[in-house]
Structure 1
Amino acid sequence: MIEWAMHLLLGAAIGTLGGIFGIGGGLIAIPALVLMFGMDQQIAQGTTLVMVVPNVTLAMWRYHQRTRILLRHAAPLAAAGLVFAWLGSLIAVGLDPDAMRTAFAIFMLVLAAYTYLQMYLRKPPPSAELRQPWPWLMVLGSGSGILGGFFGLGASVLATPVLSTVFGATQVVAQGLSLALAVPSTGVTLMTYALHEHVDWHIGIPMALGGLLSVSWGVRLAHALPEKSLRTGFCLFLVLCAALMIFKA
C-alpha cells in the first residue's frame, strides 16, 4: 500500500510538470524509473507510457477548452505521428538498453539547446495561423512520431519547439497541437511495448492515476505563466533529465 501511494505521488508530480510543459511527463518519468527502480531503458519507457497516454489525452482536452485546437492542423500531425511512432517503437524494443539510454540523454540536450537558442533569434511575431502549409505538418508528425516511438516519450517533445519557431505558433498553441499529435502516437507505442512485455503495470497504473489528478493543475499554470518563462523552464527541465540519464550511464 505504501509503495502504491509513493507511485501515485510520483505520478502526480510528473503530471503537473507534464501539464505545464505540454509533454505528458515522459521526459522526467523515464529517468526517475531508471534511477529509482533500476529499470532497463525499454521497461522504463513502456511503463512511463501507461501514465503518459491518459495524461496527454486529458491535457489535450484541457488545452482545447482554453485555446481551441484546429482540426485542420491537428489531423495531419496526428495521422503521420501514428504511423511513424509505430515504426519507431518496433525498432526500440529490440535495441541495447545502455545504448538507448545514452541516445536518450543526447537527444534531450540537443532539444534543450535548440529551444533555448530560438528565444534569442529574431523571428516574426507568433499567431494562431501557421506559417507553413499542412503538408509540412505531416513531415513534422513523421519525425516527431518516430522519435516519440523510439524513446517512449510522446511526439510532443520534438513538435512543441518546432511548432513555436518554424511554424510561428504561440507556445500555448504549439503545446496544444503537440498534445493532439501525441495522443494517437503514444497509444500505438504503448501497445507495441506491452506486446513485447516492456511494461510494469503495477507501477504504471498508480502513476497514471496520480498524473490524471494533477495534470489539469499543470495546464492552468501553463496559461498563467509568461511565454518566455515557459520556454526557459522547458529547457531547464530537459537539461536536468539529460544529466540524470548521463549519471546513470
Structure 2
Amino acid sequence: MPAVQPVLRATRQLWQAALDLLYPRVCQGCEAPLPPDAPRQGIPAWFCGSCREELVEVQAPYCAVCGEPYDGAITQAFVCKNCVGRRIAFDFAVSGYKAEGPLREMILHYKYRRDLSLRAGLADILSTALNDPRLASEDLSQWLLVPVPLHFTRQFWRGFNQSWELCRSLSRQTGIPTAQVLQRQMRTRPQARLHRKKRLQNLKQAFALLPDRPWRRSPDLRGRRILLVDDVLTTGATAHECAKILKLNAGVEKVVVITAARG
C-alpha cells in the first residue's frame, strides 16, 4: 500500500495539470488568471491577491447573537439593538466574511448562474466560521450540519439547494456529518425584497420537519447539536424559524448558524 500512494499522488497531479490546460483557473472576483502554483484549497485557490485584499473578514467586535460586526473599541460581549428584546431560537450566528465585493459576486454566480463548481470555494470560506472561539472547545464531529431548505418549486427552478451543496462540501472537508431534516412547506416571497418585520411575518409556518419515508429516515435529533448552514445571513429571520422547528419539534439542544457571508 505505501508504494501505491506516490503513484496515486502523481496521477492526481497529472490529471489536475491536464484540467488546468483545458480550463485555466481564474480569480472569481476579477477573472484574472491564477498562477499555476496557486493553492487548490482555501481562499487563495479562488481569489487573486488583489481581490483577497477586498474581502472583509467578520471579526470582533460583533453581536453575540446575530454576528453583525461593528466598528469601535468594544472589548466585551454585547447584543445589538436588533437582537435586544427579541426571542431568537438559535443560540448564536457566525459568518466568515461580509457579503461585499468579490465574495458577493461569487455567491451570485453560484446561486443564480447555477455554477456548482463554486461550492467547494464557498465551503472553504464557510469553514472559517468554525474558528469562532465559542466553538473551540466543541467536538464538532458529534454535531450535525443541517441545510436551510428551499421550497421544492424554487429548488426545481434553480436545480439545486445551495445550502445543501455547501453542507456536503463542508462535510467532506471536516468530517462533520450532514443530513437534510427540514422542509420548506410554504412558498414565500423572496426575503431580499422585504424589511425586517415583513420578513418575520413572511416566514410564519414556512418550515417543518422532513417526514420519514420508506426510502429515507431522518436521524434522531433529540439532544443533538446542530450547525444550521446557509450561504448568507441577513436579518436572521429564516434561521430563527428553522431553529425554532428544530428545538420545539425535534428536541434539538443547541443550534448555531454558520454562513459563508454576512449581509
Structure number with higher relative contact order (C-alpha < 8 Å, ≥ 6 residues apart): 1
Q: Normalized against structure 2, the TM-score is what?
A: 0.29
Bigger CA radius of gyration:
2
Higher strand share: 2
Q: Normalized against structure 1, the TM-score is what?
A: 0.30
